[in-house]
Structure 1
């Protein structure tokens, strides 16, 4: 499910500075040093190629890590989850693994990964963003990288479209990323799926003069100046190719974006795959899980084969039958768990 890209080699060994080593088995000396993860700690220690190497496989990333899962789905060969935090599992081997690991480094919202020595390939890695997701199935749909801590590490996307490009949720603002997006035609709109993933929307607005779209139920002081505020239950359209579907539950104003020609649904935090590739609605973060489940039922009538979420893993269905069966099974299981029907 992760984009097929790679990490670099030589002296640029991934590193992380750990406050304390967890008691883990399998003595191992990774050249990507990890750190442990709590947002109340200070910034990561500076890179020091003379520092002693970690003695255990699976050392945790820096204290600032928020367990957002970004590095684990971007470079699963290198990063895994240990004790509710991300950890270096093994050093990347080969060009593709090295590129993926460095792309995860740049995308980490809390700068919790670093190389033991400066990487000669970092400029090449920077220039790879925004990344194509699947050039055959999803031409013109790209993953922005540069996740923002302000959005709890949410994924953002760029949709390249002849009537104006769309940023879906806000990546961390970066001048280099802005330059590369401008080379692809800039951005006319920023579609904000819900209030949690608005990130650096003001900076992107200033960069491109784009119009921000958000449901009025999710407008707060930080987004009060959004140019397009949706009201009511919709649905709404953006030109002929995009439908906006109100899917309340995670928040009152959660909205999914359906790119009809490519059958891709941008879901924010409404629906995704978990790390074990089961459908999930992140109930622990939902404002109203019953309402959210009903919103998922509403998607049964939408024609999509891809789910591109803000948090969680991407999903690609083989066909509408597989999609329908997966959604029905998920909803049925949740109805039993919740003790009431979602099928209004």
Structure 2
């Protein structure tokens, strides 16, 4: 790998470029018209403008491939968000002889379909919340809710979902129809598909995730766990590693389940396997797999001393886990703990709730802070805030 195009912007583009530069790989930035002055553009060895402004500019597969070819880049790293889990993008890279720094398209297809992902987890012996492995109609959702009995609640989820979008808890049967319609509309807007599945809601559960890495041969190692139970409207606000106060048997079960699912899928690159754990720490259930670099990868790096982006680059360049000294017995145990805090810009009512739908919220500036990643190395704080346009409501 000689030259890497980073198909993203903001702090994650800067983060990827730093590891690429340290590995002796030249970097290429792309930017929308309104991002020409952004830090990631200045950090790269060269930059190529994209047509248009805002997020849409980073979603054109054809233009990104053309930019890589124009720059002579032999690899593309998608970062997170945007096209990072898009199997069509991965296939387009392969078709033009460009390395996609991430999992194979078939892996993205599998884990990008949440119903298929549930079925895969079941075949691998992982515990699952009671729910469906196929898209449901509103009639089927009503029937599922009714079967659960009094006092139960459900979670509606987008089949193609991620990032907390296209999800809604429903605690009262009479709220199901409206929630289903809103959830489907949000999923259609965010992912191009309004298909939903339904699960029993597990209240008061902790949200634990396991970082895994594989080389495509079936060899997979876990890089321990993180916790992201502190959330706001199903968006992660605080992440820490390792997860604290997990019973050893539960931690072992989660790590084993994550490795098994990734190995059976022949994972190449990084993925995060997410679970719910009951408040007593004993019962647990699989949620989903995110086959990409996560926002919160930094806390795993801090406690293991591993550069996860550097690992991605090496594996995409043909290295095996054995080459990298990452067979499971060689993975370092976590040292200390690390915390990532995100700044969530929104307007709240006096009781802490979000404003009602349709409320107009005005910001003093046209941009808002998406999140801030705080790490122990002071040099990382400067580029840690990514500015993105805020929705007017």
Fold-level similarity (TM above 0.5) = no
Higher relative contact order (CA 8 A, sep 6+): 2
Q: TM-score, normalised on structure 2? A: 0.26
TM-score, normalisation: structure 1: 0.28
* Larger helix proportion of the pair: 2
